[in-house]
Amino acid sequence: MVMKHVEAAGTFSTQAAVRSYESGPDGLMKPETVLHWLQEIAEAHASALGFGYDFVMSRGLAWVEVRLDMAIGRRPAWKEVVELRTCTAQASPLQARRNLEVRDAEGNGIIAASCLWAVIDIRRRRPVPLNKYISQFPETPCGEMVAPVRMDIEGLQPEIREWTAERRDMDFNRHINNAAYLVWALESLPEAWQEEHALTGIHLHFRKESHAGEQMKSLLFRQGNLTCHHIMQGDELRAEAVLEWG
């Protein structure tokens, strides 16, 4: 991925080609790839605006993703070149919103996402007010593009899967990367389900960080074209995913 420019309107854009290792057996981009792309373009844009990784780390802070809501029209194919466009704005005293749109070569929107980020004090593991360190966000309109989806699991019996979090899923923050939670959710579904359904929506709510070596557990609930995944460590909910299927 090569970062290109920051437009005058405050929207940051780049082009990306789907690589072979980012593609699945169906020849399409793996769902978790767009989460990696989002992390990369978010950092590039934030750094261009003056409050990226280096800025917050030098002050003992870190950006953390709180939730992600994504709508998928289609996933691009291997070698396909797409445009990624992102904007950001302050959503509340403690959270910033970031939107991402993926467009194909004809300019058609094929994926849209809205996510919320917070800045935390690394030592205290607590969020800090954004205006304490960031004087101003862009004035670009950046309203919610994709609304959260919730699923009522009352009365449903979960399907349980257990595994050990691995070092390969860690990132430079020394905890499990957010994209791993989506992979874990997808891995809990039978292969036949994924072959018969197309993923059309991803809704992730991150609760608490996880680390390599921890014993993890997934509680899977199914209802119609929705699946709900509680990613647990013991009795503690680490993340919740609601996936939409077509």
Q: Is 112 helix (H, G, I), strand (E, B) or coil?
A: strand
Three-state SS at 227 = strand
- Domain ranges across the chain: 2-132, 159-245
What is the pLDDT confidence band of residue 6, given thresholds at 50, 70 and 90?
A: very low
Neighbours of 64 (CB within 10 A): 18
Res 1 pLDDT > 70 = no
Spatial distance between the Cα atoms of 60 and 66, rounded to a whole number of angstroms:
19
Q: How far apart are CA 98 and CA 38, in angstroms?
A: 9
Structure confidence by residue, pLDDT tens digits, 176-199: 999 999 999 999 999 999 889 999
Q: What is the pLDDT of residue 51?
A: 94
Q: For residues 243 and 203, is the Cβ–Cβ distance under 8 A? A: yes
Domain 2-132 matches domain 159-245 at the CATH topology level: yes
Q: What is the mean pLDDT of residues 230-241?
A: 97
What kind of architecture, by CATH, is found in domain 2-132? Roll (3.10)
Average pLDDT over residues 28-47: 95
CATH 3.10.129.10, domain 159-245, yes or no = yes
Q: Is the pLDDT of residue 7 over 80?
A: no
Looking up tokens 């960080």 gives: 209
First to last CA, the chain: 30
Q: Is the distance from CB of 98 to CB of 115 less than 8 angstroms?
A: yes
Q: What is the helix (H) or strand (E) element at residue 38, kind and residue range?
A: helix 31-49
